């Protein structure tokens, strides 16, 4: 008998029919002798509907009151799932975040979990009940309702799994696991049976958005066994999804590269000919950061003639704004020669813990791209990831050839 936390997202809870399907799935797991805690999101679209209503009343809704309102989305789905389970003879009980209680700080709309009381849930589990907990919400020390911010239901699932010392936290979504790359681009893409937390973090932040990054960090920190599964697979045809593990699997041959991630939503900016002296990075990126623009890759090469070129990438939607800041507030201040940019770029990354012990991954990547005539504009590396910026038009080609070159097509 295992204790399993299952999390179902808004699409899985999107209609009475789908909720009944989730109930059947939960019932099957319970009938196998497991104790089940289910975390649910609001019905898809409901959170946005509530936020829209709030904005009609107050242009910038009060955060405390917005949380009171938005938290009702999950309060509805916990009740509906409990009803669906009771309707098929499974004893179930719903819990709001406050009822659990999931104690958070008081940062409304983006609260952090501080503590989870497990006593009541444990008693109900021992009494044979399925526990259904509202995702995305908690309560602060004053009893005010808080929310964890977008996608916070994943975090609720992982936090509950940690608090209850669950055997596994299953995240049900509309895909059946984590793939070596996007199957829409590479038909040969394969589902990974397992992936490490580190790899998952790199994959997620690079655009393969299956899980909320924060919940993955959380799972890694608290050593929660995390599994991504599909909630749309038919009975009897379920796969095991992808297990996200804490450690590299030493029992089997480890592939060097686990996947090829990419992000087409990037733009590149370069400040040419800035004096090569201390403080220059801050002088360039300070104004960008103050304008609340997220910077992704940052590259500064060694200088010559006392000057250097400084490049970075931003979300494509921030490109014009960032360029204007550089032109108006930075260029003259730092004594740069000129500002150039390109919003038709993309980033392609090879991710894998195996590269730690396998030198030569980078050169293989560069050679593969060169053989296809793809020019590399920027390079950035971490311990388990190599990212390159290339012209947007090469995205699909680059992903495909790298996927094959690293043996992921199999």
Residues lying near a copy of itself in the complex (CB under 8 A): 16, 19-20, 50, 53-54, 56-59, 61-62, 64-66, 68-69, 71-72, 75-76, 78-80, 82-84, 86-87, 93-94, 96, 98-99, 143-145
CA distance 356 to 212: 25
Q: How far is the CB of 97 from a copy of itself (least distance, A)?
A: 12
Q: Which is nearer to a copy of itself, 106 or 368 (CB)?
A: 106
> Based on CB atoms, which residue is closest to a copy of itself, 78 or 224?
78
Smallest gap from residue 98 Cβ to a copy of itself (A): 7
Q: For residues 207 and 217, give the distance between their C-alpha atoms in angstroms, rounded to a whole number.
A: 16
User: Rounded to an integer, what distance in angstroms lies between the CA atom of residue 176 and that of residue 240?
Assistant: 8
Angle of CA points 218, 192, 162, to nearest 5°: 20
Q: Which residues pair with 298 in a beta bridge?
A: 312
User: CB 300 → a copy of itself: shortest distance, Å?
Assistant: 46
Shortest Å distance, C-beta 144 to a copy of itself: 8
Minimum CB–partner distance for residue 80 and a copy of itself (Å): 5
Give whichever of 19 and 148 is closer to a copy of itself, judged by the CB atom: 19
Residue with smaller CB distance to a copy of itself, 104 or 212: 104
Q: What are phi and psi of 7, to 5 degrees?
A: -120, 130
Give the residue with the Cβ less far from a copy of itself, 138 or 241.
Answer: 138
**Beta carbon nearer to a copy of itself, 11 or 381:** 11
Query: What sign does the dihedral 140-143-149-150 (CA atoms) show?
Result: positive
- Residue 10 C-beta: closest distance to a copy of itself, Å: 15
* Closer residue to a copy of itself in complex, CB, 100/402: 100
Could you tell me if 161 and 224 are in contact, meaning their C-beta atoms sit under 8 angstroms apart?
yes
Q: Rounded distance, CA 246 to CA 200, Å? A: 10
DSSP notation for 37-95: EEEEPPPTTHHHHHHHHHHHH-SS--HHHHHHHHTHHHHHHHHHHHHHHHHTT--EEEE
3 state DSSP class of 266: strand
d(CA 347, CA 314): 11
265 touches 392 (CB < 8 A): no
Least Å distance, CB 27 to a copy of itself, is 14
């Amino acid at each position: 008998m295992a204790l399993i936390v299952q999390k179902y997202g808004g699409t899985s809870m999107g209609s009475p029919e789908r909720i009944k399907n989730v109930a059947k799935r939960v019932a099957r797991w319970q009938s196998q002798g497991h104790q089940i805690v289910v975390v649910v999101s609001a019905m898809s679209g409901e959170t946005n509907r509530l936020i829209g209503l709030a904005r009609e009343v107050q242009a910038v809704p009060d955060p405390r009151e917005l949380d009171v309102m938005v938290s009702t989305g999950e309060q509805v789905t916990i009740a509906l799932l409990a009803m669906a389970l009771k309707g098929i003879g499974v004893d179930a009980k719903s819990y709001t975040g406050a009822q659990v209680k999931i104690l958070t700080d008081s940062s409304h709309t983006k609260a952090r979990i501080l503590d989870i009381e497990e006593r009541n849930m444990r008693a109900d589990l021992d009494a044979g009940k399925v526990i259904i907990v509202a995702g995305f919400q908690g309560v602060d020390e004053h009893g005010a309702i808080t929310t964890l911010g977008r996608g916070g239901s994943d975090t609720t699932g992982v936090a509950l799994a940690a608090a209850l010392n669950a055997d596994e936290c299953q995240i049900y979504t509309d895909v059946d696991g984590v793939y070596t790359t996007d199957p829409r681009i590479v038909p040969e893409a394969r589902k990974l049976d397992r992936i490490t937390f580190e790899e998952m973090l790199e994959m997620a932040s690079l655009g393969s958005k299956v899980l909320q990054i924060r919940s993955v960090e959380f799972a890694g920190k608290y050593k929660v066994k995390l599994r991504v599964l599909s909630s749309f697979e038919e009975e009897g045809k379920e796969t095991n999804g992808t297990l996200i593990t804490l450690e590299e699997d030493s029992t089997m041959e480890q592939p060097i590269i686990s996947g090829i991630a990419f992000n087409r939503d990037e733009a590149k900016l370069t400040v040419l000919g800035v004096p090569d002296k201390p403080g220059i990075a801050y002088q360039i990126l300070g104004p960008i950061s103050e304008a609340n623009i997220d910077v992704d890759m940052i590259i500064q090469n060694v200088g010559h003639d006392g000057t250097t070129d400084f490049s970075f990438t931003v979300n494509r939607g921030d490109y014009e704004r960032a360029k204007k800041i550089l032109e108006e507030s930075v260029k003259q201040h730092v004594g740069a020669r000129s500002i150039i940019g390109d919003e038709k770029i993309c980033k392609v990354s090879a991710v894998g813990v195996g590269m730690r012990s396998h030198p030569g991954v980078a050169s293989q990547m560069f050679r593969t791209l060169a053989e296809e005539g793809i020019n590399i504009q920027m390079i950035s590396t971490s311990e388990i990831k190599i990212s390159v910026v290339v012209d947007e038009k090469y995205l699909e080609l680059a992903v495909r050839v790298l996927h094959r070159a690293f043996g992921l097509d199999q």
